[in-house]
A and B are shown apart, each in its own frame.
Chain A
Amino acid sequence: MKFFRSIKRYFRDAAKSVIRNFSLSLASISCITITLIVVAFSIVLSYNVEKMTEHVSSNISIVVFLDGESTEDDLKQIKASIERLDNVDSITFKSKQEYAEETKEMDERFSLIVDSWTEDTIPLLDSYEVKVKDIDLIGDTADKIKKMDKIFSVNYGEEYIESVITIFGVIEKVCIGGVIALVLVTAFLIANTIKLAIFSRKTEIEIMRLVGASNMSIKIPFIIEGSFIGFLGTIIPIIIMSYGYNSLYNYLGGQLFSSSLGRLVEPYPFILWSSLLLLLIGLLVGMFGSYRAVKKYLKI
């Protein structure tokens, strides 16, 4: 009973403190709000870039054109050697006839030419489409395949793909690094703001100690207060992110560029998870800030 009474009192005291020290609470809340807006922006950016990279990566494959003179056995042998490579995820065969059909479908004018080809005169080559596990090592894998026998050419869009992958990789790393750095900076910034807020209540802590409050019972209301402040600080960023991203998604029709490469992440459930993440960051950062600040005044 006494325990529940204390818990009730802790929450009541914390709520009262936020209101009684309104100007300083507002300073802390604003500080959390502003930084979390930037964090929200970084989360949206980095997650979208990550998804785009994943999308690009899953669509990239090495196309291995086989020598025109390869026999069935050669094909099997080549397939086996390619499959033995570490980085190879899957391998699919595509015959020259399939290519011919595809070409026909591209334009009616091509069908005349394609139709004139016979089994012997067909100027196309059989191929293997190789998907890799690690996109960063695609060049290496392509080189290994190139060195095999009975291979005509190996193609994976070399420089273009590599630069896209590199750029996306950099953006993603910068964003993730940015989010982590921002969260840390926010935590310290908020710790300092709350420290300032609590500094003005040094006497209060001193009196609490004097009347015999244990360190724990002094800390808990301040920590709850910190989490209140953290919670209040996350409201605006969550609204901005949810509303903003939804509007942006609808405005752009879910596409950043015309190609499938720039497909944006669906707002739901992405926004829900991101909002929860923001809420968690806000709460933790508020609690941590308060804890650090009050701990300082509990030493005599």
Chain B
Amino acid sequence: MDLIRITDVQKTYKTGTVALYDVDLTISKGEFVFIIGASGSGKSTLIKMLYREEKPDKGSIMIGGINVAKLKDRKVYILRRKLGVVFQDFKLLPRLTVYENVAFAMEVFGYDKKKIHKRVMEVLELVGLKGKVRQYPDQLSGGEQQRVVIARAIVNNPKLLICDEPTGNLDPDTSMGIMKVLDDINKMGTTIVMTTHNRDIVNTMKKRVVVLNEGKIVQDYERGKYYEVL
């Protein structure tokens, strides 16, 4: 069953740069998809459209029954509650502890304290940070910070996890650790869409690979390898 259906999407920035052109893409529930491409190929724009940070000029993006392309600013939260986002630069709140950073995502839903505590501890265990709940982000390594971000992204059981170069700032060993966590999450049924530049990760994971070049999808492999031409 399709979770994401992108049809005929086009995006041109105000500067005149064409970021995406005639993009059609369907992603099913439970898939793990890498989106790869050179810098400026449009992969960031595409992924930003999935969580409605950007709007397409043309075409439609359906995610779990919501037409993201037509979603009004003040309704964006409805979409965001259905998905989790992980960034290269973490975006953690420095003044909150690990626990608070993760709990924050549940508090906006108005859950009671007990439920929040139970679930936060659950996801922190899943990402291997149960022992660091009281620490602040700057006391953690890059890999640990990214695990906190992943915990925050999945704490509300999203159907879709969007990862924008989550290993971009991490060393190879730490990156593989993060990929292990993401793979576990995927195995639990969460659909993952991830952009990356990391050849080793793509080659090791053997997942579906969508290759973008100059705003167009040029390849779509089922169990792909990093596109050699790039």
In the complex the two chains form, what is the Cα distance from A177 to B20 in whole Å? 57
Complex partner residue of B104 from A207, A299, A300, CB under 8 angstroms: A207
From 172 to 215 in chain A, residues with beta carbon under 8 angstroms from any chain B beta carbon are 203-204, 206-215
B73-89 with Cβ < 8 A to chain A = 73-74, 76-78, 80-82, 85
Q: Is the CB of B95 within 8 A of A20?
A: yes
**A76 on the B face (CB < 8 A):** no
Contacts of B93 in A (CB 8 A): 203-204, 207
Q: Of the candidates A203, A211, A298, A299, which one forms a contact with B108 in the assembled complex, judged by CB atoms under 8 Å apart?
A: A211
**A-B Cβ contacts below 8 A, count:** 53
**B91 interfacial contact with A, CB 8 Å:** yes
B161 beta carbon closer than 8 Å to chain A: no
Q: Within 8 Å CB of B131, what residues of A?
A: none
Pick from A9, A204, A215: contact of B77, CB below 8 A: A215
A209 CB contacts on chain B under 8 angstroms: 76-77, 80
CB interface residues, B 31-87, toward A, < 8 Å: 51, 53, 73-74, 76-78, 80-82, 85
Write the chain A residue with the least CB distance to B105.
A211
Q: Does chain A have a CB within 8 A of B110? A: yes
Known contacts A203-B91, A207-B91, A211-B80; decide if A300 and B53 are in contact (CB<8 Å): yes
Given A206-B91, A207-B104, CB of A213 within 8 Å of CB of B53: no
Give the complex CA separation of A215 and B78 in angstroms: 11
B91 x A210 contact (CB < 8 A): yes
Collect the chain B residues with CB atoms within 8 Å of residue A212's CB: 77-78, 80-82, 105, 108-109, 156
The reply on A5 being an interface residue by CB < 8 A is yes
A38 to chain B, nearest CB (A): 34
List residues of chain A with CB within 8 A of the CB of B73: 215, 298-300
CA gap between A207 and B105 in the complex, in Å? 9
Bound complex: CA A213 to CA B76 (Å):
9
For residue B51, which residues in chain A have a CB less than 8 angstroms away from its CB? 210
Judged by a CB distance under 8 angstroms, whether B112 is at the interface is: yes
Task: Map CB proximity to B onto A1-35 as digits: 1 under 8 Å, 0 otherwise.
Answer: 01101100100000000001000000000000000
- B107 in the interface (beta carbon within 8 A): yes
In the complex, what residue of chain A is closest to B158 when comparing beta carbons?
A212
Chain A 131-154: CB-based contact to B (< 8 A → 1; otherwise 0): 000000000000000000000000
Interface of A is mostly: helix
A206 and B92 alpha carbons, distance in the complex (Å)? 11
Which residues of B are found within 8 Å of A2, using beta-carbon distances?
Answer: 110
Residues of B within 8 A of A204 (CB): 93
Q: How far is the CA of A72 from the CA of B109 in the complex (A)?
A: 88
> In the assembled complex, which residues on chain B have CB atoms less than 8 Å from the CB atom of A92?
none
Nearest CB in chain B to that of A206: its residue = B91
Residue B216 at the A interface, CB < 8 A? no
Residue of B nearest to A218 (CB): B108
> Which B-chain residue is minimally distant from A216 (CB atoms)?
B74
Inter-chain contacts of A3 with B (CB < 8 A): 110
CA distance A3 to B112 in the complex (A): 11
CA–CA, A214 and B156, complex, Å: 15
Chain B residue contacts of A211, Cβ below 8 A = 80, 104-105, 108, 152, 156
Q: How far is the CA of A209 from the CA of B78 in the complex (A)?
A: 10
Contacts A203-B91, A207-B91, A210-B85; A9 near B76 (Cβ below 8 A): no
List, in ascending order, chain A residues with CB within 8 A of B156's CB.
211-212
Any B CB within 8 A of the CB of A260: no
Q: With A and B bound together, what is the CA distance between A299 and B55 in angstroms? A: 13
Q: Which chain B residues lie closer than 8 Å to A208 at the CB level? A: 104, 108
Cα-based distance from A214 to B110 in the complex (angstroms) = 12
A28 to B53, CA, bound (A): 31
Q: A5 vs B113: C-alpha distance in the bound complex, in angstroms?
A: 10
Given the known A-B contacts A2-B110, A6-B110, are A213 and B91 also in contact in the complex, defined by CB atoms under 8 Å?
A: no
User: How far is the CB of A295 from the nearest CB of chain B, in Å?
Assistant: 11
Q: Could you tell me if B53 and A217 are in contact, using CB atoms closer than 8 angstroms?
A: no
Which 7 A/B pairs are nearest by Cβ-Cβ distance?
A212-B81, A213-B108, A212-B80, A211-B105, A214-B77, A2-B110, A6-B110
Task: Identify the A interface with B (CB < 8 A).
Answer: 2-3, 5-6, 9, 20, 203-204, 206-215, 217, 298-300
Besides A2-B110, A211-B156, A214-B77, 7 other A-B contacts (C-beta < 8 A): A5-B110, A5-B112, A206-B91, A209-B77, A211-B105, A212-B105, A212-B156
> Could you list which residues of chain B lie within 8 angstroms of chain A, going by C-beta atoms?
51, 53, 73-74, 76-78, 80-82, 85, 91, 93, 95, 104-105, 107-110, 112, 152, 156
15 A-B pairs with C-beta separation under 8 A = A2-B110, A5-B110, A9-B107, A206-B91, A207-B104, A209-B76, A209-B77, A209-B80, A211-B80, A211-B105, A211-B156, A212-B82, A212-B108, A299-B73, A300-B53
